[in-house]
Amino acid sequence: MSQERSGPMRRTFVSGRRLTLLGGGFSTDDDGEPGRRSSYRAAVATGALSAGWALEDGVGALFVDGSLSDAVTRVPQARLYRVEPGDGGGGTEERALPCRALVAAQ
Tens digit of each residue's pLDDT (9 = 90 or more) over 97-106: 999 999 876 6
- What are the helix (H) ranges across the chain? 36-46
Q: Is the pLDDT of residue 3 over 50?
A: no
pLDDT by residue (tens digit) across 25-44? 888 888 888 899 999 999 99
CA distances from 57 to 6, 25, 36, 66, 103 (A): 25, 17, 12, 22, 16
- Classify burial at 31, counting beta carbons within 10 Å of its beta carbon; exposed 0-12, middle 13-18, buried 19 or more: middle
Counting Cα atoms < 13 Å in the Cβ hemisphere of 66 gives 6
Q: What is the pTM of this model?
A: 0.76
Task: Give the H/E segment covering residue 80.
Answer: strand 80-85
Q: Where does the pLDDT of residue 17 fall: very low under 50, low under 70, confident under 90, or very high at 90 and above?
A: low
- What are the helix (H) ranges across 33-91? 36-46
